[in-house]
Amino acid sequence: MEKEQGQGQGQKPLPMEGKAFRYGFVLGRFQHVHAGHELMIDTALNVCDKVLVLVGSAQLEGTLRNPYSAGVRIDLLRRLYGSRIELAMLPDYSHENDHSHAWGKYLLKAARDYGRERGYHELDLMVYGSDEERAAWFSKEELNGVAQLALPRNRQPISATRLREALVQDDRKFWQQHMNEALHSEYDRLRALLLQTPEYQVQVK
């Protein structure tokens, strides 16, 4: 697992100490970050002293599901959260669709090792969307001491897939409706980067 260094441009104050949880994480591919991702991260920040955001499939870019590089994804997250969150890249364990217990062990080890290397409290929280098949990733023993906070997806019914479709269709209005205003200026850059991927080039009408 690679740590992402960078100063960021966070506009909000650092989270206060003494929350319900000490050290938690959020996992996502963030292709690209949107309001649903922000809901998970904001929820984690509200209840947890230290929050690690793991950028998954970090080795992939230029594909249909993963068009953006890890660097671009991390840059957008830093623009939104600055130093309020910890950020690290997490390559796939074997392949992108691996949801085995081996993947779950790999994920938890990455989150725990990150915290231990920095002297954080032991991992005690995982935040995710409720429709994700996370139950198959872990045995009960592996999650001992780690609370799970599942957020209903219908609270923010938007997906990165739909936003990428809006970029292909050059539907700036729809895209901006589901994006943080702090990232509205990124529309042209993200569209140009997306259209460098052949699978998206052929979709342009």
Q: Residue 128 and residue 37: Cα distance in Å, rounded?
A: 9
pLDDT tens-place string over residues 94-121: 766 666 788 889 999 999 999 999 999 9
Residue spans per domain, the chain: 2-157
Query: Residue 143 in 3-state DSSP?
Result: coil
3-state SS, residue 78? helix
For residues 8 and 81, the answer to whether their CB atoms sit within 8 Å is yes
Q: Is the pTM of this model over 0.75?
A: yes
pLDDT at 17 over 90: no
Q: Of 133-142, 143-152, 169-178, where does the model show the most confidence? A: 169-178
Q: For the chain, what percent of residues have pLDDT higher than 90?
A: 72
User: The tokens 């790999």 sit on which residue?
Assistant: 106
Q: Which CATH number fits domain 2-157: 3.90.1150.10, 2.60.40.10, 3.40.50.720, 3.40.50.620?
A: 3.40.50.620
